[in-house]
């Protein structure tokens, strides 16, 4: 698919998933707080607590993008920085499960690719995120070259290895 075609496809996806009621979901997601998570992010990746807070907020925004993309069965991948935030969030298993249930409405699985990162999937992910969220912080959402080797789980997705949804619940 050519770049222009991907951009048109990305805009079509956003039009399909960015309904007015969904902005309320994003607002609710962004109210989630757990001070321990940014503290761990700061400690593990060597950034200030202020920077760790930004990373955590952007991780929450990324998880909203996962939720929206899942509706139309598009696998999205985080940047390396977002993946650090997501990994540290997932380690707080009870908090992460509660967040997914109460704030997102469904569990978002973190699925590792068994190969190498897919830069094309990240570019599409970033386009979808920018369409849904507006301008992105390029330190956390770089435009190129920072794809993590994972995606969120989508039922019957064949783009991730092992295939997303292979655990039976997507």
The tens digit of pLDDT for each residue in 104-137 reads 999 999 887 776 767 788 888 899 999 999 999 9
- Of 30-34, 54-58, 90-94, 109-113, where does mean pLDDT reach its minimum? 109-113
- Of 58-67, 91-100, 142-151, where does mean pLDDT reach its minimum? 142-151
- In sign, the C-alpha dihedral spanning 86, 91, 93, 99 is negative
Q: Is the peptide bond before 162 cis (omega within 30 degrees of 0)?
A: yes
pLDDT at residue 165, as a whole number? 39
pLDDT at residue 71, as a whole number? 87
User: Exposed/middle/buried for 27, CB within 10 Å: 0-12, 13-18, 19+?
Assistant: exposed
Q: What is the mean pLDDT of the chain?
A: 80
- Using DSSP, state whether 100 is helix, strand or coil: helix
- Average pLDDT for residues 73-94, to the nearest whole number? 92
- Average pLDDT for residues 29-40, to the nearest whole number? 97
């Amino acid at each position: 698919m050519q770049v222009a075609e991907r951009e048109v496809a990305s805009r079509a996806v956003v039009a399909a998933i960015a309904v007015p009621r969904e902005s309320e979901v994003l607002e609710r997601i962004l109210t989630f707080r757990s001070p321990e998570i940014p503290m761990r992010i700061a400690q593990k990746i060597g950034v200030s607590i202020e920077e760790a807070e930004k990373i955590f907020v952007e991780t929450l925004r990324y998880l909203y993008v996962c939720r929206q993309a899942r509706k139309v069965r598009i696998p999205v991948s985080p940047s390396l920085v977002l993946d650090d935030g997501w990994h540290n969030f997932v380690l707080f298993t009870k908090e992460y499960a509660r967040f997914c249930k109460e704030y997102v409405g469904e569990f978002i699985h973190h699925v590792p690719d068994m190969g190498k990162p897919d830069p094309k999937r990240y570019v599409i992910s970033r386009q979808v995120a920018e369409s849904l969220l507006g301008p992105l912080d390029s330190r956390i959402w770089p435009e190129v070259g920072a794809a993590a080797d994972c995606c969120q789980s989508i039922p019957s997705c064949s783009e991730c290895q092992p295939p997303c949804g292979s655990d039976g619940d997507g």
